[in-house]
Amino acid sequence: MIKKIQRQFVLLSMSSLLVVLAIIVGVINIVNYHDVVREADRLVMVLSENGGRFPPEMMGDKHKLPPPWMSPETPYKSRYFYVLLGEDKETVIMVDTGRIASVDSSEAVDYARKVVGKSGGTGFVDHFRYRLDAEENVVRVTFLDCRGELDAFHSFLWISMGISLAGFFVVFLLISFFSGRIIRPIAESYEKQKQFITDAGHELKTPLTIIHADADVLEMELGENEWIEDIQKQTKRLTDLTNELVSLARMEEQGDIRKIEFPVSDVVSETAASFQVLAQMQKKKFTLAVEPMLSMTGDEKAISQLVSILLDNALKYSPEGGHVCVILEKPAKQIKLEVGNTLVTPLSRDDLNRMFERFYRADASRNSQTGGHGIGLSKAKAIVEVHGGKISATIKDGDSLQITVTLPV
- Give the CATH number, domain containing residue 228: 1.10.287.130
189 and 124 in one domain? no
Average pLDDT over residues 367-387: 71
- Please tell me the distance from the alpha carbon of residue 288 to that of residue 294, in angstroms, as a whole number: 15
Which element (helix H / strand E) includes 402? strand 400-408
- Checking if the pLDDT of 2 tops 50, the result is yes
108 and 6 in one domain? yes
- 297 close to 290: Cβ distance less than 8 angstroms: no
- Domain end, chosen from 202, 228, 254, is at 254
Average pLDDT over residues 15-42: 94
399 and 304 in one domain? yes
Residue span of the structural domain in which 399 resides: 260-408
- What does the pLDDT read at residue 136? 81
- Please tell me the distance from the alpha carbon of residue 239 to that of residue 213, in angstroms, as a whole number: 13
- Domain end, chosen from 125, 151, 181, is at 181
Walk across the sheet containing 128-135 and list its strands: 92-99, 80-86, 138-145, 128-135, 122-125
What is the CB neighbour count within 10 angstroms for residue 391? 21
Q: What is the pLDDT of residues 230-288, one digit of tens each?
A: 888 888 878 877 777 776 666 665 555 678 899 999 999 999 988 988 898 889 999 99
DSSP E strands in 116-230: the ranges are: 122-125, 128-135, 138-145
Q: What is the pLDDT of residues 131-153, one digit of tens each?
A: 998 888 889 999 999 999 999 99
Specify the number of domains making up the chain.
3
Average pLDDT over residues 49-71: 70
- What does the pLDDT read at residue 366? 45
- What does the pLDDT read at residue 217? 84
- What proportion of the chain, given as a percentage, has pLDDT over 70? 86
- Checking if the pLDDT of 365 tops 50, the result is no
- Domain end, chosen from 224, 254, 284, is at 254
- Please tell me the distance from the alpha carbon of residue 195 to that of residue 197, in angstroms, as a whole number: 5
Residue in 386, 369, 370, 388 with CA at minimum distance from that of residue 378: 386
Read off the DSSP letter of residue 66.
P
Grade residue 364 by pLDDT with cuts at 50, 70 and 90: very low
Q: What is the pLDDT of residues 79-91, one digit of tens each?
A: 999 999 988 888 8
DSSP string for residues in 90-147: -SEEEEEEEE-SS--HHHHHHHHHHHTTSSSSEEEETTEEEEEEEETTEEEEEEEE-H
Helix, strand, coil percentages, rounded to 5, for the chain: 55, 20, 25
pLDDT, mean over the chain: 84
227 and 355 in one domain? no
171 and 302 in one domain? no
121 and 147 in one domain? yes
Average pLDDT over residues 330-338: 90
- What does the pLDDT read at residue 256? 53
- Checking if the pLDDT of 69 tops 90, the result is no
195 and 177 in one domain? no
Beta-bridge partners for 38:
none
Look at 365 and 109; give whichever has higher pLDDT.
109
279 and 156 in one domain? no
DSSP E strands in 284-389: the ranges are: 285-290, 295-298, 323-329, 334-342
190 and 72 in one domain? no
169 and 244 in one domain? no
Grade residue 209 by pLDDT with cuts at 50, 70 and 90: confident
Verdict on whether the full-model pTM lies above 0.95: no
- What does the pLDDT read at residue 382? 83
- What does the pLDDT read at residue 353? 77
- What does the pLDDT read at residue 238? 81
Look at 310 and 347; give whichever has higher pLDDT.
310
74 and 6 in one domain? yes
375 and 235 in one domain? no
Average pLDDT over residues 69-75: 76
Residue in 378, 384, 382 with CA at minimum distance from that of residue 407: 384
